[in-house]
């Protein structure tokens, strides 16, 4: 059974929302696993930029510890940004995207599944690698758990917000730089609360406020972003 037949019309009587979600999810995960090399790219970028920091600023642990929370967050954000351009690209080129939007399931579900896979393949790996890079940046011990938690929550919002930009620029040949330009200002709140949560923990304060705010950003993004993404994809596909 080819993966495409999963999109066949299940009939108007069966909404099969969960099934549609899983079908898209499985298909995208399969594709992502087939292109393992590309999966590693954001991580390598993350590692590379973090390596540049001591070379460019100072290798002294004190300075690095001061920079660590913000630097790790900024670079994780940039790594996500770089991975976004490919989010809808191949599906747009081979026409899958059009099929997906024409399918009887609500495009909200399909879009959610695609973005979820993006998060699983970039946000989660970045989060898991971050503590390792925290060691290289001499991140104080108290910072690791909040770094993990804030990135786990924050990268979800980053994927969702970024997907809006990716959907808007997918039909443009040279969308990459433009994508960063339009998405980065929207990332400001996530960055502020993510980095400050880690900093607060290092300085010995409670960081649950920041995590709660990140969680509410994620909730808002889950509700609203897929609508904008679906609208933008329809715009890109229709011409």
Positions that interact with another protein (CB under 8 A):
164, 168-169, 171-172, 174-175, 178, 181-182, 184-186, 188-189, 192-193, 196, 217, 224, 228, 231-232, 235-236, 239
Please state the closest distance from residue 231 (CB atom) to another protein, in A.
Answer: 6
The two three-digit tokens of residue 238, written as one number: 């229709």
Please state the closest distance from residue 163 (CB atom) to another protein, in A.
Answer: 11
User: Closest CB to another protein among 99 and 171?
Assistant: 171
Q: Angle 208-212-215 (CA atoms, 0-180°, nearest 5)?
A: 140
Please state the closest distance from residue 136 (CB atom) to another protein, in A.
Answer: 25
User: Closest CB to another protein among 123 and 165?
Assistant: 165
User: Closest CB to another protein among 52 and 181?
Assistant: 181
Please state the closest distance from residue 34 (CB atom) to another protein, in A.
Answer: 31
Please state the closest distance from residue 168 (CB atom) to another protein, in A.
Answer: 5
User: Closest CB to another protein among 130 and 214?
Assistant: 214
User: Closest CB to another protein among 133 and 218?
Assistant: 218
């Amino acid at each position: 059974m080819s993966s495409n037949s999963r999109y066949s019309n299940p009939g108007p009587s069966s909404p099969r929302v969960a099934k549609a979600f899983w079908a898209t999810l499985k298909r995208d995960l399969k594709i992502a696993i087939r292109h393992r090399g590309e999966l590693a790219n954001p991580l390598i970028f993350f590692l590379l930029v973090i390596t540049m920091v001591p070379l460019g600023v100072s290798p002294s642990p004190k300075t690095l510890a001061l920079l660590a929370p913000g630097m790790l967050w900024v670079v994780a954000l940039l790594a996500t940004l770089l991975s976004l351009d490919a989010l809808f690209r191949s599906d747009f080129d081979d026409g899958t995207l059009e099929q997906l939007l024409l399918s009887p399931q609500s495009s909200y579900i399909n879009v959610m599944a695609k973005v979820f896979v993006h998060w699983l393949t970039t946000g989660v790996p970045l989060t898991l690698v971050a503590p390792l890079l925290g060691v290289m940046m001499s991140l104080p011990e108290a910072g690791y758990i909040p770094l993990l938690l804030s990135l786990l929550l924050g990268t979800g919002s980053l994927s969702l917000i970024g997907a809006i930009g990716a959907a808007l620029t997918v039909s443009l040949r040279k969308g990459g730089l433009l994508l960063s330009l339009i998405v980065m200002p929207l990332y400001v709140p996530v960055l502020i609360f993510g980095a400050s949560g880690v900093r607060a923990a290092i300085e010995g304060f409670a960081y649950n406020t920041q995590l709660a705010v990140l969680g509410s950003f994620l909730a808002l993004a889950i509700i609203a972003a897929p609508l904008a993404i679906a609208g933008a994809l329809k715009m890109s596909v229709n011409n």
